[in-house]
Amino acid sequence: MPVTDVAIEKIKDMITSGRLAPGDRLPKEAELAAQLGLSRSSLREAVKALCLVRVLDVRQGDGTYVTSLEPRLLLDAMNFIVDFHRDDSVLDFLAVRRILEPAATAMAASTMSEHDIAELRDLLDAVTNAPTVEELVTGDLAFHRRIAEGSGNPVLCSLLEGLSGPTTRVRIWRGLSQQDAVVKTHEQHAAIYQAIAAHRPEVARSWALVHIAGVEDWLRAALA
């Protein structure tokens, strides 16, 4: 195993074992290198790598700290990679959404409070009967983001947020080219909202599946 990978594993072990907790400051470089039996150069490279994936945070003049380790931070690296997707891979992203989003919607139907549901209703009502494509897509992203947050699972929420980027262009394309895209989107959003408001997780799951699968089927036909 490369020396830098060994250094990364040793720092990771300090965190997973509890010797370093979220927000803790790492010992000074010379001290930590001696503790771990590493050279200072390999330790330095490991710290750089762990900063890139948001596990560590170097604060100039203050030291190196463990981040909050929240899923939102740790999944930033995945979001960076996702940004390099090719257009022909969008169907793969939609397929993953079709797996994850119905589950998140069902969870939201079980866990969202009345206040949360009222916020979801506001997002639904914010999209007018004749929105521009930009308003439609913005409203669509906000609606799905609020449901993901309502699932109560920050990892699932972060994964879905990362998947929303590659499918934004498809949403715009569909809004421009499919005559009934606005009507269909609003009707399906309304059905999802009603199932969540009634706390009917399986119905909410089914409508979310119909909604995502509809976009996927439209794209397959458009690409063909």
Q: Which residue is associated with the tokens 């010992």?
A: 27
Residue 209's pLDDT band (cuts 50, 70, 90): very high
Q: Where is mean pLDDT largest: 26-30, 129-133, 155-159, 196-200?
A: 196-200
- Of residues 71 and 48, more confidence is placed in 48
CATH topology of domain 74-223: Four Helix Bundle (Hemerythrin (Met), subunit A) (1.20.120)
At residue 29, φ and ψ (nearest 5 deg) are -55, -50
- Token pair, residue 132, equals 């521009």
Reply yes or no on domain 3-69 having CATH 1.10.10.10. Answer: yes
pLDDT at 215: 84
Q: Where are the domains of the chain?
A: 3-69, 74-223
Q: How far apart are CA 204 and CA 209, in angstroms?
A: 9
74-223 shares the fold of 3-69: no
- Name every residue whose Cβ is closer than 8 Å to that of residue 222 and which is 6 or more positions away in sequence: 173, 174, 177
- Whether the pTM exceeds 0.85: the reply is no
Model pLDDT for residues 67-88, shown as the tens digit of each residue: 888 876 666 655 555 554 455 5
pLDDT at residue 214 in the model: 87
**What pLDDT is stored for residue 128 in this prediction?**
73
In our burial notation (b when 16+ CB lie closer than 10 A, e otherwise), range 159-172 reads: bbbbbbebbeebbe
Mean pLDDT estimate for the chain: 85
Q: How many CB atoms lie within 10 A of CB 119?
A: 16
- Please, which pLDDT band fits residue 204 given cuts at 50, 70 and 90? very high
In this prediction, residue 25 carries a pLDDT of 94
Q: How many CB atoms lie within 10 A of CB 3?
A: 14
123-178 per-position pLDDT tens digit = 999 887 777 777 888 888 899 999 999 999 988 998 888 877 667 666 766 766 66
